[in-house]
Amino acid sequence: MNTLVLFYFLHNVLATLILGSTFARKRDAVIKHFGIALLLNTVAFAIWSLAVMNRPANLESYVTAGVVFFILSLIAFLSAATLGRGGRKQILGVAVIIAAVVFYLRMSAFPSAAAFSPEGLFFFNPHPFVALAYVFGLALCAFPAIEALASKFTGGYATLLRYGLNIEVAGGILLIVSSDSIVGSADALYLAGWIMGLMYLALWTTFAFGKKAWQGVS
């Protein structure tokens, strides 16, 4: 077991749990929905953390269970991004249908090949078409949701949310598309892991314990 990989996943669980719980308790609907999305990500990363710790024979079952909550989090992000916008129900309805189709194809025609590298790095190895759907899903759901969330804050706190969370999504995309067969993947993942971890540390310590960040925010 690679200790740094396990630490990365466990810190993601901690960070999304703290941030998600903090946001989900707020009255503002955008912040609340964003918090729910983060809590769904908490469950996904908790499941994948168990896989990293145990290296189970049925690794794909763990990955699939986590993917269910990851896809649900994308729907919650989209819900946060479209609050107060016309056609919101129709957009969410189409998104749910697309998510169901992608998941069905992942389970039938385009299975993933999750595996651990000799160094202990965890690669999801989704089929290229499924990886494409995940990347588009993050771009279309998470980025607008981050912008909607950041607009609720002012000054440096808005900037920290906007760029900090964008870094987390960019790192998540790297996790999705990286493969052990690509030269340099391990080094890129280590670097991304440190960047994402430090950024999450800045985010959850600021918004869970910094009262000034919430001045004027409901």
Q: How many alpha carbons lie under 13 Å from residue 87 in its C-beta half-sphere?
A: 3
Phi, psi of 115 (to 5 degrees): -160, 165
Delimit the domains of the chain by residue range: 3-214
**What integer pLDDT is reported at residue 142 of this predicted model?**
96
Count Cβ atoms below 10 Å from residue 56 Cβ, excluding itself.
Answer: 11
End-to-end Cα, the chain, rounded Å: 43
**What integer pLDDT is reported at residue 85 of this predicted model?**
85
Neighbouring-strand partners of residue 122: 116
Contact of 171 with 192, CB cutoff 8 Å: yes
**What integer pLDDT is reported at residue 21 of this predicted model?**
97
Contact of 35 with 19, CB cutoff 8 Å: yes
**What integer pLDDT is reported at residue 211 of this predicted model?**
86
Amino acid residing at 168: E
Contact of 142 with 169, CB cutoff 8 Å: yes
Count, in order, helices (H) and strands (E) of the chain.
8, 2
Whether the CA torsion 79, 134, 142, 65 is positive or negative: it is positive
pLDDT of the chain along its 218 residues, tens only? 789 999 999 999 999 999 999 999 999 999 999 999 999 999 999 999 999 999 999 999 999 999 999 999 999 999 999 998 888 999 999 999 999 999 999 999 999 999 998 888 999 999 999 999 999 999 999 999 999 999 999 999 999 999 999 999 999 999 998 877 665 678 888 999 999 999 999 999 999 998 899 987 86
**What integer pLDDT is reported at residue 182 of this predicted model?**
66
Question: How far is it, in rounded angstroms, from Cα 93 to Cα 71?
Answer: 14
Phi-psi region of 142 (alpha: psi -120 to 50; beta: other; left: phi over 0): alpha
Six-digit token string for 112 = 């993933």
How far out from the chain centre does Cα 73 lie? 7
SS3 for 147?
A: helix
Question: How far is it, in rounded angstroms, from Cα 114 to Cα 144?
Answer: 29
**What integer pLDDT is reported at residue 108 of this predicted model?**
93
Contact of 195 with 167, CB cutoff 8 Å: yes
Six-digit token string for 150 = 């950041």
**What integer pLDDT is reported at residue 126 of this predicted model?**
93
**What integer pLDDT is reported at residue 179 of this predicted model?**
76
What count of residues does the chain have? 218
Identify the architecture of domain 3-214 in CATH: Up-down Bundle (1.20)
Q: What angle do CA 199, 19, 36 make, to 5 degrees?
A: 130
**What integer pLDDT is reported at residue 183 of this predicted model?**
59
**What integer pLDDT is reported at residue 103 of this predicted model?**
95
